[in-house]
Structure 1
Amino acid sequence: MSIRTQLLVMICAITFSLGFGASNALANKMPYYTLKKSVVKITSRGHVGTGFVVKKTPNTVYIVTAAQVIQGNDKYPAVELFGNQRFTGVLQYTEKKDNPRKGLALIAVRSKAILTRVSVLPLSEKCFDDFNHYFKSKKEVAFSYSFSGESSRWGYIGLTSPNRKGRDLTFRGVINQMNFGSPIIKGNDVIGIITTNGPSVYAASSLAIREFLVGIGNFSSQMSSGETIGPPTIEPTEQQFPQSGTSGIKSKSPPLFRDPLQMGGEGPEMAIIPAGTFSMGDIQGSGQRDEQPVHSVSIKRFAMSVYEVTFAEYDFFAEMTGRKKPADKGWGRGNRPVINVSWEDATAYTNWLTQQTEQQYHLPTEAEWEYAARAGAQTEYSWGNDIGRNRANCAVCGSKWGNKQTAPVGSFAANPFGLHDMVANVYEWTCSASDKKYKKKELRCSCKKSTYSYCVYRGGSWRSLPKYARVANRSMGKKNRRNNNLGFRIAREIRE
């Protein structure tokens, strides 16, 4: 037996032991009710594709799809079942190939609600992808099953003229990008997955799928023990911090990081904000009375989320806790900032993160927020006194979303602390109670007390004029206030 043959046998044996094998219980023709519990619709930044379930553990469902279904660096694609139930997925791994259009991707959904609604779609038991076993001639037909965009329904797609090129399969058929990631079925076997189209319909064979799954780091051992895995680790970055107007800041930032969640996956990306002292309030003298007096505040080292909390992150929390998901006004979810959340909703999210990570998360105090937004500057914005054009998403800021809707997080350059969208996009709740003038409530999470019903939110929004998006500007609202221009970001204590 050759080394290559031994390797294929080994892969086959491993993957069958993990549950990627075939089921003899399937009928000669794979029934519709099996497919509708195994094939899912995937939406990534507005682009629709297909995927299917390859593994279930006590806490997690794993879905394979075509790599090009995942748009850009979208880490939280939406997963929708046949009955329109919608869940937030977490991207685990994307295959890198010479031709990325032919790669695969793996998504995890960590929700107890999905476990009883889906079934694993078994891969072909032909470990060597015996092409001749399935196709006696080029006249034979295979089928794919996916969501059809034209008819907005699920259905079969006929594939003819089968051919094999190494580990890839090719067919003739009429498909579109919504069919990428759908399983290819012959008889009662899944023999491949559609990856792309061109002159032909291209597919990765079932063996290629197995090799992809087994090759994902510790994926095999973790899944065999019933554990879950999180998305790839993000490498730390270094940034230069400004020195003007802020004392005690070191020249380089600590790494960006994400805390692992007990149920699997990771929390929002966080940046460590160095300790320092700054002047808080209306330094330029163009603001409102409640921005006075200008006073010196010292801030301990802490962490703040790089982006505003997104719909994907909040929806995942809502699914895990049975909380109602907020409306998105038809603008889209995914990596857009979550809106229509009250102070109470935002605080519940931070409490959940604290429980999941055993770290102390909270809404930022008003002082922490302004310190992070200034990032060493004494000007109206972290970049100067002029809002400029296309630096932020506000009413007259030159943004294509301005005065219309929220922008996807990270659409504009980060400030010197590595934080995006501290100016406009959505107002952001703080944990501080409101005051007509600064009287020390801005230094602590004073809004937690039941005696305070109004809490401060900061930063301006997509429909704000520039003067309301200044880093010193203050706004307030009742704890139960919800609005389509109001969201939040989070902070976390750093243990010294």
Structure 2
Amino acid sequence: MWQRLLMVCVLAGPACAWFAVAQDQPPRAYRVGVVPKNSAEQFELAFWESIKDSNHVSDYEAYLKAYPKGRFAALAQARIARLRAAAPRGAAAAAEQSGPKEAPLKAPPASTATAAPAKPTAPPAMPPAPARAVAAGADIKDCPACPTLVSIPAASFSMGSNASDPSEKPAHPVNVAVPFAIGRYEVSVQEWNACAAAGACPKVDQSPNSGPNAPMRDVSWDDAQQYAKWLARISGKPYRLPTEAEWELAARGGTTTSYWWGAQMVQGKANCRECGKPWSEDAPANVGSFAANPYGLFDTSGGVWEWVADCWHNNYKGAPADARAWDEPNCRVRVIRGGSWREGASYMVATTRFKYDASVRHSQNGFRVVRSLK
């Protein structure tokens, strides 16, 4: 008996993704229809698409943890067995240390564990400094290791969209009454590594082609919280993740159109699959490789998905009318915004939102930080 491959075509927006699944039947092509951005199928497909060519056992282990009965579960188990059988004794663990991993932060598999760097004597915590008035758009650098921030003025805007994905409805007025400062760029590998070197953040290996100015990725929401707490300690400033309302206000840059640059997609404005050069399927472009929005923020569309503080809700019914994080007790599913370099142009709109478990590290997920100015 011989095996054939079942080719499954999944339409996600304008793109068609083909997946090969081992079967004992003649090959047939199936169209399973358009998969909405806000669907369980799309979440799983996005996860699988990002790891399907991986040579790391931990990627497939993470998939099975998230989707133990998923459509690719049998294939994931087969690849784990094949990779373990092919690896020389003692080499499997070493292989797991390189390349992106989908490993959860809590109770990670032994193969993904990395030795924590020696912790130097922690600097004394700085007392909170009094707030100073900061002009809108001015650069803020609170400490040598701190990311560069840009100030965002208080404003009211319409959040969400009635013409896009169901998760983005209803469009609703939001008043951000207090100005805040947000990272001009997504947190970079170099900035993350400074926290890891201080023993305050986990060491998360990046792909070999990721330089110091690449956006930090493969980090969970829990990881991002650790980084923000470290910045708060060394700077004396109240660093945190942005709320979803703050993030969208900043990403829009004061505009009201679908994209911050206008109503239509324009090549060369963002780092995505259909956005023009520079683009590589293997990794996102360095931070700041594309034009900034009117507020001076880079890569709010594409690059890497960005964690925000809010708990995931399927839509905006009952959402706060101010800039508070929309949280829930014991919430473990958190919001990510902005799309990544692996998505198409339809994901680059300012209202795009998605979700992941707070403990999952995914190779397309990163973040930027904020702090209050009052």
TM norm structure 2: 0.61
Deviation, structure 1 residue 482:
1.1
Task: Determine helix, strand or coil for the equivalent of 2:140.
Answer: coil
CA–CA distance in structure 2, aligned partners of residues 321 and 114 of structure 1: 7
CA–CA distance in structure 2, aligned partners of residues 463 and 371 of structure 1: 24
Larger relative contact order, structure 1 or 2 (CA cutoff 8 Å, min sep 6): 2
Contact 1:327–1:339 (CA under 8 A) maintained in structure 2: no
Q: Which residue of 2 aligns with 1:274?
A: 153
1:453 aligns with 2:336: no
> Larger strand proportion, structure 1 or 2?
1
Q: Which residue of 2 aligns with 1:319?
A: 197
Task: Determine helix, strand or coil for the equivalent of 2:297.
Answer: coil
The one-letter code sitting in structure 2 at the alignment partner of 1:292 is: K
CA–CA distance in structure 2, aligned partners of residues 386 and 325 of structure 1: 40
Two-structure CA RMSD over aligned residues (Å): 2.2
Deviation, structure 1 residue 368:
0.4
Mark the structure with the bigger radius of gyration.
1
Contact 1:331–1:406 (CA under 8 A) maintained in structure 2: no
Q: Which residue of 2 aligns with 1:373?
A: 251
1:489 aligns with 2:368: yes
The one-letter code sitting in structure 1 at the alignment partner of 2:319 is: K
Instruction: Say which of 261, 271, 281 aligns to 1:403.
Output: 281
Q: Which residue of 2 aligns with 1:478?
A: 357
CA–CA distance in structure 2, aligned partners of residues 374 and 282 of structure 1: 13
1:340 aligns with 2:218: yes
Contact 1:335–1:409 (CA under 8 A) maintained in structure 2: yes
The one-letter code sitting in structure 1 at the alignment partner of 2:351 is: A
Instruction: Say which of 253, 263, 266 aligns to 2:136.
Output: 253
Deviation, structure 1 residue 440:
2.1
Contact 1:393–1:402 (CA under 8 A) maintained in structure 2: no
Instruction: Say which of 462, 466, 469 aligns to 2:341.
Output: 462
Deviation, structure 1 residue 322:
5.2
Task: Give unpaired runs (5+ residues) of structure 2.
Answer: 1-116, 122-133
Q: Which residue of 2 aligns with 1:298?
A: 175
Deviation, structure 1 residue 112:
7.7
Q: Which residue of 2 aligns with 1:351?
A: 229
Describe how 1:67-216 pairs up with structure 2 within 5 A: none
Deviation, structure 1 residue 385:
2.0
CA–CA distance in structure 2, aligned partners of residues 316 and 275 of structure 1: 31
The one-letter code sitting in structure 1 at the alignment partner of 2:360 is: R
1:420 aligns with 2:298: yes
TM norm structure 1: 0.47
CA–CA distance in structure 2, aligned partners of residues 370 and 322 of structure 1: 29
Contact 1:381–1:471 (CA under 8 A) maintained in structure 2: yes
The one-letter code sitting in structure 2 at the alignment partner of 1:382 is: W
Contact 1:404–1:462 (CA under 8 A) maintained in structure 2: no
Task: Determine helix, strand or coil for the equivalent of 1:321.
Answer: coil
The one-letter code sitting in structure 2 at the alignment partner of 1:464 is: E
How many residues are matched? 243
CA–CA distance in structure 1, aligned partners of residues 120 and 331 of structure 2: 40
Contact 1:396–1:403 (CA under 8 A) maintained in structure 2: no
CA–CA distance in structure 1, aligned partners of residues 293 and 182 of structure 2: 13
Deviates more, 1:306-315 or 1:352-361: 352-361
The one-letter code sitting in structure 2 at the alignment partner of 1:444 is: R
Q: Which residue of 1 aligns with 2:166?
A: 289
CA–CA distance in structure 1, aligned partners of residues 153 and 293 of structure 2: 14
The one-letter code sitting in structure 2 at the alignment partner of 1:481 is: V
1:177-207, CA deviations, whole angstroms, 9 ceiling, x for partnerless residues? Answer: xxxxxxxxxxxxxxxxxxxxxxxxxxxxxxx
Describe how 1:202-241 pairs up with structure 2 within 5 A: none
Task: Give unpaired runs (5+ residues) of structure 1.
Answer: 1-110, 116-237, 239-251
Percent identity (aligned): 35
